[in-house]
Amino acid sequence: MPTAIGKYCDAVVLEGRRLFSLHDFQTGMGYFDRIGHARFKFCLLTVGRENAGPVQPEFSFFSRTLREFQDSRRHFNLSRDAIARINPNTVTAPVFRTSADAELTAKIHTRVPVLIDEAKGAAGNPWGVSFMAMFHMSNDSGLFRTAAQLAEAGFVRDGRDWTAPAGARPRQSALALAGGSDDPSLALDTYATARASERYVPLHEAKMIHQFDHRWATYDNGESRDVTGAEKVDASFDPAPRYWVPQGEVADRLVTKGLTRG
């Protein structure tokens, strides 16, 4: 059986109490250890007639040897209701490495709701959370400009931004110069419909930030690297991006989400 069954247990199987157990295994140390790749997954899935299965099916995940599989700490039971509290939008079986992880997570979700419960409509999203991918690295690549492109087009640095000199009209035809390290995959010279912009602002990619650190990585000569300790203690240090984007595009996309405060 493919491992996907272990991660996406069908709600019908759970609701109908057809599932008896699901045990997930990984090759490499004890199972099929002569396979070159040590990350192949497979599972042992036991199902039966409707309403014949246990109220709380048994699960285990990531067992690499018979000894690991025999470790009782790796086995846990979850009811359909417990799974629905943890993953109410999909009712997919969660994956845990130990019974302690499963027990703790189940207890948390009996007290704390998920961030968005789609079945409850607006009431299931009390924080008003919405998701937005502001710029897509492939679909929006025609808007991206490197420092070399902007300089050649007549823009000048203004702090973290690039701006057109007063009274000057940037040379749009020059924007087809070679770009960053993965420039061959970006159609920088074909985005003919992009409007001219007087100011370009830094594009911060996901790899540049950490959930607790907005200065996690920077770019040097088109290559990303971690920010050094010396740079972090310098309050004036700003990570350098690989690309800049038109400020007007940023403003327009924020307006579509009702964000107008600047």
77 and 111, same domain (yes or no): yes
What is the rounded distance in angstroms from the CA atom of residue 39 to the CA atom of residue 109? 31
**Would 78 be classed as within a structural domain?**
yes
Residue with tokens 């996901």: 206
249 and 149, same domain (yes or no): yes
182-196 confidence digits (pLDDT tens) = 444 444 443 333 344
60-99 confidence digits (pLDDT tens) = 999 988 999 999 999 999 998 999 899 999 888 899 999 9
- The sheet with strand 76-77 has its strands ordered as 41-47, 19-26, 58-63, 76-77
**Would 14 be classed as within a structural domain?**
yes
> Domain residues for 34?
4-124
21-35 confidence digits (pLDDT tens) = 999 998 877 777 777
Give the DSSP H or E segment for 109.
Answer: helix 99-111
16 and 65, same domain (yes or no): yes
92 and 174, same domain (yes or no): no
Do 68 and 93 form a contact (C-beta atoms < 8 A)?
Answer: no
Using the 8-state DSSP alphabet, how is residue 208 labeled? G
71 and 174, same domain (yes or no): no
Strands 199-203 and 243-246: antiparallel
Q: Where are the alpha helices (DSSP H) in 8-65?
A: 11-15
**Would 219 be classed as within a structural domain?**
no
What is the rounded distance in angstroms from the CA atom of residue 184 to the CA atom of residue 105? 45
Q: What share of the chain is helix, strand, coil (3-state, %, to 5)?
A: 30, 20, 50
Residue 4 has pLDDT above 60, yes or no: no
47 and 102, same domain (yes or no): yes
174-223 confidence digits (pLDDT tens) = 444 444 444 444 444 433 333 446 899 999 999 999 989 999 999 998 89
196 and 246, same domain (yes or no): yes
Domains in the chain, number:
2
